Amino acid sequence: MPKKVDHLARVRKICLALPEVTEVDAWDAPTFRIRSKMFAMYRVNHHGDGRLGLWLKSTFDQQEALLEFDPIRFFKPAYVGPRGWIGLHLDKNSDEEIRFHVIEAYKLVAPKKLLEKFNI
């Protein structure tokens, strides 16, 4: 029998390992922030979309490239997708892949001095 994966625990472990990250419940979902700026949101079946996803701050260029590269692993999330955010299907991405994209999102909102201090 396949082992049941706690995807929220995976996301928390990855996000909260980054400097000064806090978890805040907003819109009935765990969000992850650096100095109150959100860079990630965990969503399960948002408005019945059937997705187990992590929404991440991104640029329009990154979003477009990821959607073109692998539309099975990535999606354009509701509400924030039109602002460039990217969605990751948690059940279709490894911890290493999730960590990479979380760090990319984190770098978009973290202060430069903090990134330099921790060599991120």
Give the SS3 label for residue 72: coil
What pLDDT shows up at residue 2? 61
How far is C-alpha 11 from the chain's CA centre? 8
pLDDT score for 111: 94
Is residue 3 classed as helix, strand or coil in its secondary structure?
coil
pLDDT tens string, the chain, 120 residues long: the values are 567 888 999 999 999 999 999 999 998 899 999 999 999 999 987 777 778 899 999 999 999 999 999 999 999 998 899 999 999 999 999 999 999 999 999 999 999 999 998 888
Domain boundaries, the chain: 7-109
Contact of 42 with 33, CB cutoff 8 Å: no
7-109 has which CATH code? 3.90.1150.30
Q: What is the pLDDT of residue 1?
A: 57
Give start and end residues of each alpha helix (H) in 23-94: 60-69
Model pLDDT, residue 25: 95
pLDDT score at 48? 75
